[in-house]
Structure 1
Amino acid sequence: MRADDEKDHSPPIEKRSVPAGGGAGAAAAPALEHREAEQRLAIARGPRKKVDEGPPKPRLTSHKVRSQWFQARAAWPYREASPYVVVEARQQLQKRAAAAAGVATQPPPAPAREGAATVASGTQAHSQPGAKLAPQQQWHCIGPTNIGGRMTSIIAHPQHPDRIWAGAAGGGVWESSDAGHTWSSTWDTQTLLNIGSLAMDPKNPEVLYCGTGEANLSADSYPGIGVYWSRNAGKKWELLADARQARLPKRIGALAVDPFNSRRIFLGGVNSGIFENQDDLGGLYISEDQGKTWQRFNFISDNNYRCHSIAFHPTWEGWMYATFTEQGNKNGIWRSTDGGRTWVQLTNGLPESPRIGRTSLALCDSKPNMIYAFGADEASESRDLVLGVFRSDDGGDNWREISGNYFLSERQMSYGNAIAVSPDDPDFVVCGGVDLHRSRDGGRTWRKITFWNKERGDTTGRNPALKQDPQYAHADHHALLIPSQTPHRIYSANDGGVDVSDDGGDTWSNRSNGLAVTMYYDIDVCQSDEQIFGGGAQDNGTLITDDGKADDHREILGGDGGWMVIDPAEPSHLLCSHQFMGIYRYRHGQVQDISPPAAEKDLIWMCRITMDPSDPDRIYVGSNRVWFTDDDGDTWKVISPDLDGSPITALEVAPADSQRIYVGTENGGIFRSVNGGANWSANIAGSTLPARIITQIATDAMAADTLIVTVGLTDHSHVFRSDNGGLIWRDIDQGNLPNVPHQVVVVRPDDPKTIFVGNDLGVFVSEDDGTSWNDLSRNLPHVMVIDLVYHPHDRSLTAATYGRSLWRLKIE
């Protein structure tokens, strides 16, 4: 250890890990004594995500690694997990809540079988936690509210273009009345917060529709449960059509209301075709009774196909267009002139149909026979390139490609694919994938109008001199909108929230303040100061705040942010990471790349990092082996074999004995070293554990042999305990915790009988060594909780969510 370190001997923080924001259910944050500017940490800004030079390279390997990372936690052996696992688990909580509410007037329950754990639940599907856990306390959002996160859809009021609604991939629906300068959540307590699309009734803007389930074909997008609607502009949402009952897709990326008949609604969905032995077909669907019943169109296929975009002709009743992919000759653009009863494939001037991938459509209100289409090239496979921008001047009879070779460097078209045309200028068109591009002359010439790698500027207000570059907008554009009342305004919903231009795309500003929808992989909280905390976020880098303010988070490392570890005694010393084992050390205002020389790094989406509680220069990193440094990352060595052929997913150095190291793997193995990594056991998971991914290992701060693990996936118990170093295991879940993936466990160091777990339903607690459990979610939005950190000095619990930023609860 360094000579200048003074060690803090207070109980160590228990750090554990993905995925939430402030909204209607958020409690007011307790007053904090925020530090003055001169007291803030001098943390250098690390490297930003790099721009790939030249034509896009194949990305199949990276995509596969990322896909496996998410699948292993939530879905394996299926391609993706059914959203109804969460639905049914939440319904079970509600039943228990109702039973708990009537306990005073009902006969006492039958005794539980010996050794069984029990769960108590309370109002609003949440529990009545024990008195020691201050039942009057509520969770409050601690940000970031100034960063944003992945948004999938956006709509505007037709007469009031400042009034907009935006859907978040994992954070619900949000409303702004001032063109995105401020936001408020309209969607906190719905069963799921995964939004795919939004639509408005053209005849009545008070009526909104929401299609759930993200349809952007990414590894970390999650399905939904059907269509919701609101009859009061988002103040209240109701489930209009349950996907399982109505046999609708679980990922609805397109919604459109017939402008001539509000009872006729069309939706487009994408799905895998098989959903845990249930039919789950993508495609085009119609409702002729305002969403109550639905019928699928089978002119593309009776089997699975995808519908990506739906557009109505604004003046010719019955005319509409849609785009499809079915991996064959029916790919492409189709038109109906009779309200959907019959359809014709449009091919004149377009590439051969099997090459046409995901395609977005845009029609101009002032010249609706002019149609633009922005398509992906199926033949480019893993490079995911642009096929072209196509234009028809005669309602779709004939087409021509209008972009030439301009889009050779654009990519990821199956993920970000959006196009919009000015309502009063048919020659003004904007489209994009990673960045945005504009033509003012109907496609004859093009100009790139946003650059994700330019300076975003200071998002905290502490450094006014660091201004946003006027051409900066976040990468990966999923929806574009040009309102009819403000034809020079462009809204973009992207992976960084909402970006807005008020001058036709010449300059941009990020309008994500208040939009608490950041998707976290991990969080850490400084043991010596709970106002210093941060973590890694999906496509928003590694974020940190050092004054605890919700609107004062900043990026200190680019890419997909991974694990962060803060030295408990020296807050200016921390480790941050990004995908593929990129690790950076921050110390005394300097930043340095200290990534281990791991040949296996391209196989590891996110690596686990932990510090030795007794010496922060001793650092352990998990790939499929354990890497170790005793000089703060200057040199590394491998201290374990490849344990079971799968990535390390949990890594614990016992605070009570730092020679005791426990490792969990994606294959469900648990391995132990009792001598600092010199020797390793065989797999000690035993037959009690379900041979599924180990998501976290936590030990008692005073007893290195006492450890608790959490397990991902479903249809088994998720929390197990050993009191003899892993030799014998006990199931302390016993089916009484929700049947959803569990991501994190924390053993309270100042009261080791208290155990916290985070899962896809929220946060749960046991105050008796796991004998019984209480739901501690209270007013948390219904979002996945992936990481928890308990702070013993302030007696607070901090939760990281995948879609609603960070939240904190005062325990006492």
Structure 2
Amino acid sequence: MSQQVDPRYLQALRWRCIGPPRGGRVVAVAGHPTQPMTFYFGACAGGVWKTEDGGQYWSNITDGYLTSAAIGALTVAEADPNVIYAGTGESTIRLDVSYGDGIYKTTDGGQTWRNMGLRDTKHIGEIRVHPQNPDLVYVAALGHAFGPNEERGVFRSRNGGETWEKVLYVSDKAGAVDIAMDPTNPRILYASIWEAYRNFWYLSSGGDECGLYKSTDGGDSWVNISRNPGMPKGMLGKIGVAVSPAMPNRVWAIMEAGDEEGVYRSDDSGATWTRINSDRALLARPWYYCHIFADPQDAETVYVTNLKMWKSTDGGKNYTEITTTHGDNHDLWIDPRNPQRMIEGNDGGACVSFNGGNSWSTAYNQLTAQFYHVAVDSQYPYHVYGTQQDNSSLGLPSKTGHGAILWQDAYTAGTGESGYIAVKPDDPNVVFLGAIGSSPGGGGALQRYDHRTKQVRLVTVWPEAHNGWDPSEIKYRFAWTYPIVFSPHDPNVLYAGGNHVFRSTDEGSSWEEISPDLSRADPEKLKASGGPVTLDTSGAEHYGTVFAFAESPHQPGLLWAGTDDGLVHVSPDGGVSWVNVTPTDLPEWSLISLIEVSPHDDKKAYVAATRYKLDDYRPFLFKTGDNGRSWQNIAVNFPQGEITRVIREDPHRPGLLYVGTETGIFVSFNDGADWQRLEAGFPVVPVYDLVVKDDDLVVATHGRSFWVLDDLSVLRQMGQEVMEKQAHLFRPADTIRRWINWRVYPARTESKNYMISSGVGVTFTEKKNEYNEPIRKFLDAGENPPQGVLVYYTLPENSGEPVTLELLDGAGAVIETFRDRGQTAVSPPNESEADKKKREAKRTLSTQAGLNCFLWDMRYPDATAVPGDPFSDGITAPLAAPGTYQVRLTVGNMVQMQEFVLRPEPHLTATREDLLAQFELWLQIRDKLTETNEAIMRIRRIRQQVDEWVKRATDNEAVASTAAALKEKLAAIEGVLYQTDAKTSFDRLRLKVKLNTKISTLISIVAAADERPPKQAYDVFEHLSVQVDAQLAQLNELVETDVAAFSALVQQEGIPAIGLD
């Protein structure tokens, strides 16, 4: 039976990005031609981002519109800057390259986007738009990176992308990677064709079909000019091209060409060429860079982006370095009107300069980090660890006590960019991580990081350098992301996977080989990568290795290993023997991406595999119930065209599966028989790894940093019976009672707020939605989990019934009641203005068909406040004590109840009795404050009526004099309870605070920490209570005597009687 869940029953789930705000690779940038502070960048796997303040803050502007997150090209139409074209799929085809689905266009400055076709190009290198006609567009499409296809070359659209013409095509294995346009004569175009491909074991850059082409008729016809006089005579590779707007006959080409590589220049529009620079620093790893950019106003100035960024002021002959915020520089946009204004994209993000590159904006405000794997530890709050592409490995907390997860909360945990990361189960200070490409030492670099000493120790299995060698010639092969896994049974046992499996029992000080070569070890696939023009032996293409590894959590020594060339092995005896259990339905040469042993069944396991680097984008998911003797394909109903990288089973609900793909996360409620996307605000982004930690799903994206889905209770309880009910109340997950510091500030404006708590600078916006729920968005930090208990409930379509939610304590007493907007919109009789404002500001319940969510902040109701009190700026609501609570949902006549538990923070030293004492005193203070403030408001109501009577009793001396005496006595009491001269909160610095303020400020003494209140708090409360009670007694006596006498007097005069409440 199908168990597809109506997406509406998942709509209220809440994802949050926890950071870090450290940018990932950017290969496409653009600037607004007339708004000097507005720029754009395309993250290579994270969508399009925009800044309107010169790079101070960035916001994603394509979420909800793109179905591919990979941006390879980005261009703003100069004639109409509201028109922006984005080409998906980067042409920088390193091993983690993401594919795209064509061209997207916006005509409203990025508010909305539409796919304009060319979906099968997969990888787009450049877009050029006619400077006077935003509808005339040229696209350089590389085509498939992993196999031949027809949709590649140069495409032209004359109608803004509605239709396309292929105007330059060489073959099904060579595509266009760059276009330059003469801005003074846009009919003159130069385009470079690149013959390149990649698979799991090899990167090829160059061939007979590479070349530089020119058109003088707007793309109708093209001429190959790459063999013109002065050009290289041998095999060509990647080519970048630029035209000088200041001298249109001057053209530069930076060319991968073996010994003839270098920067070439033509001063006659490409007719003849001269190699003017052959410095290899400008052409290191040409397949990855090879870009050149002309200054728009100075014909002698030209820029080259490579590992470093270079500038020439003598026409391209000599270069000096321009330092940027990160290495591996790719794209550069220079303002044609002001060349000092530019934006540059590199492997660490995008950065803006207003002084020609002398200084740049930061990339530590971009939530686009690319992670390969994720790990969590055992501390509280748990920390999340990952290895970030072209950066360091790091750890950061899943939540903090100061309102947000800042960059300062993260820490570098080794220098690993490329691999797995594993935290020692019994010591979260110790982390092991793969660091190929980002570590000194030879071999498959493996680091041990100790957070206590902040030192990194290299414990590589076989630390022999192998650069330049064929993989077949080296002793051990390790993949770029080889597995590093701790045993679930012994925290001192660590495994690492090369072409053999290795085990260490001394934290990497020594290693034991516990398997034979488990790969196919095909010699044809174990050759040096990077040819035929330039070798590139970084180790990223090492093949024939163990890529996935797991030890059964049920049986020590039951080991699983999957290779990147398509084999699965099991060892039942800790590595003594191994059995090939590869699924028979799995095609050869598939990459076994991950193996998940079921946490519920000792014979059950799952495999996620992929063949996308063989140009096969089908999903591959299998499960076994007999330790691999037989397998079932569980991708039959999985969406096609998805790269299946990771699969996990929920540890609480058997058969609840989570899968990470190239475009997001999918879930199955019936052990893989049916699948559906798990969206709920999760962006389109490659998901490389995920893990279930307690009640959270923690996700490592490769383009949007880390994400967490808090509270999996809905998914664990969801089923057909839930959707068939008229309404359903889910049991809330047990919730940690408190973890956020009392100093955290509320938002002061709907625009940017710059400080979230004392000493903590972070920028965020906050707006209330239609249910008066504040929605906070962080611009340069990660988001904390919701502060409270998530209460989920479902409602039918067009119910129309009133909805009420009540929170009750363990004894069944109602703490607070919340209602839908239809009920709260009704004003009760004789409602005061203060009560009206309170009613209108109170949170209401959502009533959409499907899943709804209400966040209970774990607080009892606030004390009654005095309207307009400038000193009333603190939270007075008591935080509920740890214990069992109930929630009751009423929909019409249908009533449902669930229990949940508030748990204290695990690291607290306070006892349950201490916290109960804190709650009880807090409640007493709140009630005394309410009593005080209600007395103040009572005085004001009496005074108001007295004034009304005096107005009516014109020329009545007795009424006037009696009223004056009464008001004086009322003012005396009010003056003790309340500072009547206060106009702003700063008046407390010059005026004496009175009893209601003294009582309210006492709450901070009680609430500052999860501890029993100090004795002096009780003493001061008793001291203040005595004074308040004395004033209230005076007020009651005054009401019974003077007010009653005045009431009798006005009755004598025929004026309506005074109300005494």
* Bucket of the pairwise TM-score, normalised by the shorter protein: 0.7 to 0.9
Structural mapping, 1:364-513, within 5 Å: 364-365=244-245, 367-369=246-248, 371-379=250-258, 387-403=261-277, 405-407=278-280, 410-450=283-323, 472-505=324-357, 507-509=358-360, 511-513=362-364
Q: Residue 660 of structure 1 contacts residue 704 of structure 1 at CA under 8 Å; is this kept in 2?
A: no
Q: State the secondary structure of the residue aligned to 1:321.
A: strand
Q: Residue 253 of structure 2 contacts residue 265 of structure 2 at CA under 8 Å; is this kept in 1?
A: no
Q: In proportion to residue count, which structure has more helix?
A: 2
Q: Residue 392 of structure 1 contacts residue 400 of structure 1 at CA under 8 Å; is this kept in 2?
A: yes
How far is the alpha carbon of 1:585 from its aligned partner? 1.0
Q: State the secondary structure of the residue aligned to 1:569.
A: coil
Instruction: Return the alpha-carbon distance in structure 2 between the equivalents of residues 483 and 804 of structure 1.
Output: 28
Is 1:759 the counterpart of 2:629? The answer is no
Q: Which position in structure 2 is the counterpart of 1:297?
A: 167
Q: Which position in structure 2 is the counterpart of 1:807?
A: 707
1:529 equivalent among 377, 380, 385: 380
1:581 equivalent among 438, 444, 447: 444
Is 1:567 the counterpart of 2:424? The answer is yes
Measured against aligned partners, the alpha-carbon deviations of 1:239-284 in whole angstroms (never above 9, x if no partner) come to 122435xxxx3322121112243332111121359957xx424222
How far is the alpha carbon of 1:370 from its aligned partner? 5.2
Alignment-mate amino acid for residue 361 of structure 1? V
How far is the alpha carbon of 1:493 from its aligned partner? 0.8
Q: Residue 273 of structure 1 contacts residue 280 of structure 1 at CA under 8 Å; is this kept in 2?
A: no
Instruction: Return the alpha-carbon distance in structure 1 between the equivalents of residues 669 and 606 of structure 2.
Output: 14
Q: Which position in structure 2 is the counterpart of 1:743?
A: 645
Instruction: Return the alpha-carbon distance in structure 2 between the equivalents of residues 768 and 273 of structure 1.
Output: 35
2:27 equivalent among 149, 152, 160: 152
Q: Residue 340 of structure 2 contacts residue 356 of structure 2 at CA under 8 Å; is this kept in 1?
A: yes
Q: State the secondary structure of the residue aligned to 2:258.
A: helix
User: With CA pairs under 8 Å and 6+ residues apart, which has the higher RCO, 1 or 2?
Assistant: 1
Measured against aligned partners, the alpha-carbon deviations of 1:75-127 in whole angstroms (never above 9, x if no partner) come to xxxxxxxxxxxxxxxxxxxxxxxxxxxxxxxxxxxxx4xxxx6433525xxxx
Distance 1:165 1:353, change over 3 A: farther
Q: State the secondary structure of the residue aligned to 1:705.
A: coil
Measured against aligned partners, the alpha-carbon deviations of 1:705-727 in whole angstroms (never above 9, x if no partner) come to 33333333468774433344334
Instruction: Return the alpha-carbon distance in structure 1 between the equivalents of residues 502 and 162 of structure 2.
Output: 57
Alignment-mate amino acid for residue 504 of structure 2? T
Q: State the secondary structure of the residue aligned to 1:119.
A: coil
Is 1:271 the counterpart of 2:128? The answer is no
Q: Which position in structure 2 is the counterpart of 1:454?
A: none
Measured against aligned partners, the alpha-carbon deviations of 1:763-795 in whole angstroms (never above 9, x if no partner) come to 233455556555423221122222111111xx1
Instruction: Return the alpha-carbon distance in structure 1 between the equivalents of residues 207 and 449 of structure 2.
Output: 51
2:53 equivalent among 169, 178, 185: 178
Instruction: Return the alpha-carbon distance in structure 1 between the equivalents of residues 261 and 519 of structure 2.
Output: 43
Is 1:250 the counterpart of 2:129? The answer is no
Alignment-mate amino acid for residue 295 of structure 2? S
Q: Which position in structure 1 is the counterpart of 2:113?
A: 237
Measured against aligned partners, the alpha-carbon deviations of 1:37-87 in whole angstroms (never above 9, x if no partner) come to xxxxxxxxxxxxxxxxxxxxxxxxxxxxxxxxxxxxxxxxxxxxxxxxxxx
Distance 1:477 1:274, change over 3 A: closer
Instruction: Return the alpha-carbon distance in structure 1 between the equivalents of residues 211 and 552 of structure 2.
Output: 57
Distance 1:204 1:353, change over 3 A: farther
Q: Which position in structure 2 is the counterpart of 1:321?
A: 190
Q: Residue 12 of structure 2 contacts residue 680 of structure 2 at CA under 8 Å; is this kept in 1?
A: no
Instruction: Return the alpha-carbon distance in structure 1 between the equivalents of residues 666 and 241 of structure 2.
Output: 45
Alignment-mate amino acid for residue 376 of structure 2? V
Q: Which position in structure 1 is the counterpart of 2:567?
A: 669
For normalisation by structure 1, the TM-score amounts to 0.74
Q: CA RMSD in A?
A: 3.0
Instruction: Return the alpha-carbon distance in structure 2 between the equivalents of residues 515 and 477 of structure 1.
Output: 17
Instruction: Return the alpha-carbon distance in structure 2 between the equivalents of residues 566 and 273 of structure 1.
Output: 35
Q: Which position in structure 2 is the counterpart of 1:285?
A: 155
Q: State the secondary structure of the residue aligned to 2:250.
A: strand
Alignment-mate amino acid for residue 420 of structure 2? W
Distance 1:348 1:283, change over 3 A: same
Moved more, 312-321 or 169-178: 312-321
Structural mapping, 1:2-81, within 5 Å: none
How far is the alpha carbon of 1:231 from its aligned partner? 0.3
Q: State the secondary structure of the residue aligned to 2:243.
A: strand
Instruction: Return the alpha-carbon distance in structure 1 between the equivalents of residues 586 and 130 of structure 2.
Output: 53
Q: Which position in structure 2 is the counterpart of 1:683?
A: 580
Structural mapping, 1:669-748, within 5 Å: 669-677=567-575, 679-687=576-584, 692-701=590-599, 703-713=601-611, 718-736=620-638, 740-748=642-650
Is 1:655 the counterpart of 2:571? The answer is no
How far is the alpha carbon of 1:411 from its aligned partner? 0.6
Instruction: Return the alpha-carbon distance in structure 2 between the equivalents of residues 369 and 217 of structure 1.
Output: 31
Instruction: Return the alpha-carbon distance in structure 1 between the equivalents of residues 183 and 265 of structure 2.
Output: 17
Q: Residue 369 of structure 1 contacts residue 392 of structure 1 at CA under 8 Å; is this kept in 2?
A: no
Q: Which position in structure 2 is the counterpart of 1:360?
A: 240
Distance 1:349 1:436, change over 3 A: farther
Q: Which position in structure 2 is the counterpart of 1:22?
A: none
Q: Which position in structure 1 is the counterpart of 2:85?
A: 209
Q: Which position in structure 2 is the counterpart of 1:519?
A: 370
- Runs of 5+ in structure 1 lacking a partner? 1-111, 130-134, 381-385, 451-471
Percent identical residues: 28
Alignment-mate amino acid for residue 499 of structure 1? C
Q: Residue 535 of structure 1 contacts residue 561 of structure 1 at CA under 8 Å; is this kept in 2?
A: no
Distance 1:318 1:808, change over 3 A: same
Q: State the secondary structure of the residue aligned to 2:699.
A: strand
Q: Which position in structure 1 is the counterpart of 2:231?
A: 351
- Of structures 1 and 2, the larger Rg is shown by 2
For normalisation by structure 2, the TM-score amounts to 0.57
Q: Which position in structure 1 is the counterpart of 2:687?
A: 785
Instruction: Return the alpha-carbon distance in structure 2 between the equivalents of residues 631 and 257 of structure 1.
Output: 60
Distance 1:547 1:263, change over 3 A: closer
Q: Residue 481 of structure 1 contacts residue 491 of structure 1 at CA under 8 Å; is this kept in 2?
A: yes
Q: Residue 616 of structure 1 contacts residue 632 of structure 1 at CA under 8 Å; is this kept in 2?
A: no
Distance 1:630 1:184, change over 3 A: same
How far is the alpha carbon of 1:611 from its aligned partner? 0.6
Q: Residue 743 of structure 1 contacts residue 758 of structure 1 at CA under 8 Å; is this kept in 2?
A: yes
Count of residue pairs the alignment pairs up: 648
Moved more, 284-293 or 622-631: 284-293
Measured against aligned partners, the alpha-carbon deviations of 1:610-656 in whole angstroms (never above 9, x if no partner) come to 11123222101111211001111111110111224342122112223
Q: Residue 374 of structure 1 contacts residue 431 of structure 1 at CA under 8 Å; is this kept in 2?
A: no
Measured against aligned partners, the alpha-carbon deviations of 1:721-767 in whole angstroms (never above 9, x if no partner) come to 33443344444454356563322222333444533222334323345
Instruction: Return the alpha-carbon distance in structure 1 between the equivalents of residues 502 and 664 of structure 2.
Output: 32
Instruction: Return the alpha-carbon distance in structure 1 between the equivalents of residues 632 and 171 of structure 2.
Output: 49
Q: Which position in structure 1 is the counterpart of 2:176?
A: 307
- Runs of 5+ in structure 2 lacking a partner? 196-205, 400-404, 437-442, 464-473, 521-543, 714-1061
1:191 equivalent among 58, 63, 67: 67
Instruction: Return the alpha-carbon distance in structure 1 between the equivalents of residues 188 and 506 of structure 2.
Output: 69
Q: State the secondary structure of the residue aligned to 1:402.
A: strand
Structural mapping, 1:533-612, within 5 Å: 533-546=384-397, 548=399, 549=405, 551-552=407-408, 553-558=410-415, 560-579=417-436, 581-587=444-450, 588-589=452-453, 590-597=455-462, 600-612=475-487
How far is the alpha carbon of 1:392 from its aligned partner? 3.4
Instruction: Return the alpha-carbon distance in structure 1 between the equivalents of residues 94 and 338 of structure 2.
Output: 33
